[in-house]
Amino acid sequence: MYVVESKEGAIACMVLALLFLGTWPALLTLLERRGRLPQHTYLDYSITNLLAAVIIAVTFGEIGNSSNDHPNFIQQLSQDNWSSVMFAMAGGIVLSLGNLSTQYAWAFVGLSVTEVITSSITVVIGTTLNYFLDDKINKAQILFPGVACFLIAVCLGSAVHSSNAADNKAKLETLSVDTNKGSNTTDVPPKSSQADLESADYSSLKPKAGTADFLVQLENRRSIKVFGKSTVIGLFITFFAGVCFSLFSPAFNLATNDQWHTLKDGVPHLVVYTAFFYFSVSCFVIAIVLNVVFLYRPVLNSPKTTFKAYVNDWNGRGWAFLAGFLCGFGNGLQFMGGQAAGYAAADAVQALPLVSTFWGILLFGEYRRSSKKTYALLISMLLMFMVAVGVLMASSGHRTES
């Protein structure tokens, strides 16, 4: 079994995890904006997410010699360690619920803001839990100022969302006035003007990112319609996802380190690869069951579909498979780094909005043609996230084996 033993190796794992975990949400958002049903996308994503865990387990989990204290992956599958397995599977369940929720939150709240809110909740709750579960191996005088930096970035992220929403409102009002010859508008186009906008033929046009025409064309094309719907729904989903994300890492921590002493005497702790395998299996099962149900009973007024339609839908399937691999390998690297340097420090990957915001601007034109106020807040948020991830990584300790 390969073990990350150095602080430098743990930080390298966390940096790669940050890149992977910040990229896969952008791929799912891209498919939703192109009109692919979220149920179809998430089923594809779930397959390769599990496959990534299997690949990690049968490679890194089988490298090197096995011992009684550090058995290889295959050897540990037959041991009496079900109390730790249940913790790992519980972590997979809450992660699956969180990921499933965010694919709807991205449509309502936006990629960048959703990632900021969920990451901040994860850091505030999850990092604090991991700090005490890890017997305070991280430097508290560095760790908690890092948590404070995340909270400041959250406030800045909320301000970015508010400012950008005001910018979009002004753009849509201008277009609505032009289309309806001076009719009144509200925060979003009212039903009458909205119908006019959605019935307009924009298929032959290629509006520039950030314009009102761009926003209308996006609404016409995407699979989850958001015009005229309250953002409160999206925020509720986002906060629910954040709570789920804050619990999966502490559950995995308990699975691999048995702080509550649930294992029988002489039974070795779950190695990170075995725990990650069980974690991913439960994540897969929950995702498949819920999304098959959502095919026939969709939520939030998404279109109804069938399993046959899913099997025949190859539009964007490769991107969904890639997203699953990125998420699977990203989670595995996060856990490998956390086992060596402490799971509280490994939560530095929750700075993934840095990466997601980059992709949001590059791929989706987020914040294009926005006000100077929005740009200033956006830059401030990104700078604070950079400080936060650096501080959390600097708090890394080193786990000593008893």
pLDDT tens, residue by residue, 272-295: 899 999 999 999 999 999 999 999
pLDDT, greater one: 304 or 203:
304
pLDDT confidence bin for 261, thresholds 50/70/90 = confident
pLDDT at position 185 over 60: no
pLDDT, greater one: 192 or 87:
87
Sign (positive or negative) of CA dihedral 29, 31, 37, 40: negative
For 377-402, how does the pLDDT look when each residue is reduced to its tens digit (9 = 90+)? 888 988 887 788 778 767 765 555 54
Sign (positive or negative) of CA dihedral 317, 245, 395, 61: negative
pLDDT, greater one: 253 or 69:
253
pLDDT, greater one: 361 or 374:
374
Answer yes or no: are the C-beta atoms of 38 and 104 closer than 8 Å: yes
pLDDT of residue 350: 67
Q: How far apart are CA 327 and CA 349, in angstroms?
A: 12
> Tokens 């609404």 sit at which residue?
219
In the chain, pLDDT over 90 holds for what percent of residues? 30
**How large is the average pLDDT for residues 88-98?**
95
For 81-90, how does the pLDDT look when each residue is reduced to its tens digit (9 = 90+)? 999 999 999 9
pLDDT at position 195 over 80: no
pLDDT, greater one: 283 or 261:
283
Segments in 343-371 forming alpha helices (H): 343-346, 353-364
pLDDT of residue 339: 66
Answer yes or no: are the C-beta atoms of 334 and 344 closer than 8 Å: no
pLDDT at position 165 over 90: no
pLDDT confidence bin for 178, thresholds 50/70/90 = low
**How large is the average pLDDT for residues 134-162?**
76
**How large is the average pLDDT for residues 214-222?**
81
pLDDT at position 205 over 60: no
Strongest mean pLDDT among 1-15, 22-36, 86-100, 199-213 = 86-100
pLDDT of residue 198: 47
> Tokens 């029988």 sit at which residue?
264
Question: What pTM was computed for the model?
Answer: 0.80
Q: How far apart are CA 116 and CA 25, in angstroms?
A: 12
pLDDT confidence bin for 343, thresholds 50/70/90 = low
**How large is the average pLDDT for residues 157-170?**
78
Helix axes of 317-341 and 7-33: crossing angle, nearest 10 degrees: 160
pLDDT of residue 355: 82
pLDDT of residue 168: 79
pLDDT of residue 47: 97
Max Cα-Cα span within the chain: 79
Q: What are the backbone dihedrals phi and psi of residue 352, each rounded to the nearest 5 degrees, phi first?
A: -55, -20
**How large is the average pLDDT for residues 304-327?**
95
Answer yes or no: are the C-beta atoms of 85 and 14 closer than 8 Å: no
Residue in 189, 188, 210 with CA at minimum distance from that of residue 371 = 210
pLDDT of residue 197: 45
**28-38 residues labelled b (16+ CB within 10 A) or e (exposed):** bbbbbbeebbb
For 220-249, how does the pLDDT look when each residue is reduced to its tens digit (9 = 90+)? 888 888 776 766 788 889 889 999 999 988
Half-sphere exposure for 101 (CA within 13 Å, toward CB)? 22
Instruction: Return the C-alpha torsion angle 231, 232, 233, 235, nearest 10.
Output: 90
* Per-residue tokens: 290: 């819920």
Answer yes or no: are the C-beta atoms of 391 and 146 closer than 8 Å: yes
